[in-house]
């Protein structure tokens, strides 16, 4: 293993082990009588209150330690075994995957500037109705538990049910989501009265970051000074969508 990667994941592992007491009781309670088991190989969990074994933890496709001022932060690469687990969460509502990834995202982002609140990337209400859940909200709740930050799922609204970004190249992705998000005037007042300066948008997968950027823009316009963009995993654009 590269020395740089080792120095990235060792502190993550330590933090997960030492931070179990950070979790609120209701989160710890979910492990009572049902101790952590590795999400990937089903071995006994040995990293604290997270569903992972040490071996699978080390083998995960971690990204390097984030730059404190990086514009978009992602904890992992979107490839085996992360891709299948995130699909299980997105399409089948796998709550165990949400619990795992929420914890890993918190551990990986622990040294970034602390946000006042976490904001899951919103789905269009029609999409929430058909799917029954928002996968980013499921992840953000667990990230919020570990980092002890509030989660505000109503602070930003998706106005348009934008077509899927899959198969689009970077410029098309930007156009596709332009103006798709808004912060209502009531929420704007709430943000002002709470003195919110910094938030982190939470997403499951980031590719070009166009969707996160559009949401960030809406929050900046609403007066939030610093809008961080956090994703569990970073995917590469398919070669067929990169203009030659």
Residues in contact with Zn ion by the rule CB under 5 A:
38, 40-41, 43, 53, 56
Residue 58 and residue 86 in contact, taking contact as beta carbons nearer than 8 Å: no
51 vs 203 by CB, closer to Zn ion: 51
> Which among 213, 223, 236, 232 has a CA at the least distance from the CA of 74?
232
10 vs 160 by CB, closer to Zn ion: 10
Shortest distance in whole angstroms from residue 106 CB to Zn ion = 20
Report how far residue 15's alpha carbon sits from residue 9's, in angstroms, rounded to the nearest whole number. 10
| 3-state SS, residue 11 | helix
Shortest distance in whole angstroms from residue 211 CB to Zn ion = 31
Shortest distance in whole angstroms from residue 54 CB to Zn ion = 8
38 vs 86 by CB, closer to Zn ion: 38
Find out whether the peptide bond into 85 is cis, omega within 30 degrees of 0.
no
49 vs 224 by CB, closer to Zn ion: 49
Residue 74 and residue 201 in contact, taking contact as beta carbons nearer than 8 Å: no
Shortest distance in whole angstroms from residue 38 CB to Zn ion = 3
Distance of CA 33 to the CA centre of its chain: 28
Shortest distance in whole angstroms from residue 58 CB to Zn ion = 10
41 vs 64 by CB, closer to Zn ion: 41
Alpha carbon separation from 221 to 155, 179, 193 (Å, rounded): 13, 12, 16
Shortest distance in whole angstroms from residue 46 CB to Zn ion = 9
59 vs 225 by CB, closer to Zn ion: 59
Residue 224 and residue 199 in contact, taking contact as beta carbons nearer than 8 Å: yes
For the residues of 111-122, what is the DSSP string, one character each?
TSPPPSEEEEPP
């Amino acid at each position: 293993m590269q020395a740089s990667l080792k120095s990235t994941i060792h502190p993550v592992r330590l933090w997960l082990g030492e931070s179990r007491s950070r979790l609120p009781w209701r989160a710890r309670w979910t492990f009572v009588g049902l101790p952590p088991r590795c999400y990937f190989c089903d071995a006994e969990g040995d990293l604290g209150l997270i569903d992972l074994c040490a071996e699978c933890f080390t083998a995960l496709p971690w990204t390097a330690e984030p730059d404190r001022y990086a514009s978009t932060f992602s904890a992992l690469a979107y490839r085996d075994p992360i891709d299948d687990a995130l699909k299980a969460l997105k399409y089948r509502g796998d709550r165990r995957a949400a619990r795992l990834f929420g914890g890993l995202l918190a551990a990986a982002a622990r040294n970034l500037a602390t946000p006042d609140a976490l904001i899951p990337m919103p789905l269009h209400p029609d999409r929430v109705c058909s799917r029954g859940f928002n996968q980013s909200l499921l992840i953000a709740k667990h990230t919020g538990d570990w980092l002890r930050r509030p989660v505000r799922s109503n602070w930003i609204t998706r106005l348009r049910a934008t077509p899927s970004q899959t198969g689009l190249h970077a410029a098309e992705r930007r156009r596709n989501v332009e103006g798709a998000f808004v912060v209502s005037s009531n929420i704007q007042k709430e943000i002002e009265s709470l003195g919110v300066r910094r938030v982190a948008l939470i997403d499951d997968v980031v590719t070009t970051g166009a969707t996160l950027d559009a949401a960030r823009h809406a929050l900046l316009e609403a007066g939030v000074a610093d809008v961080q963009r956090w994703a569990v995993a970073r995917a590469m654009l398919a070669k067929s969508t990169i203009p030659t």
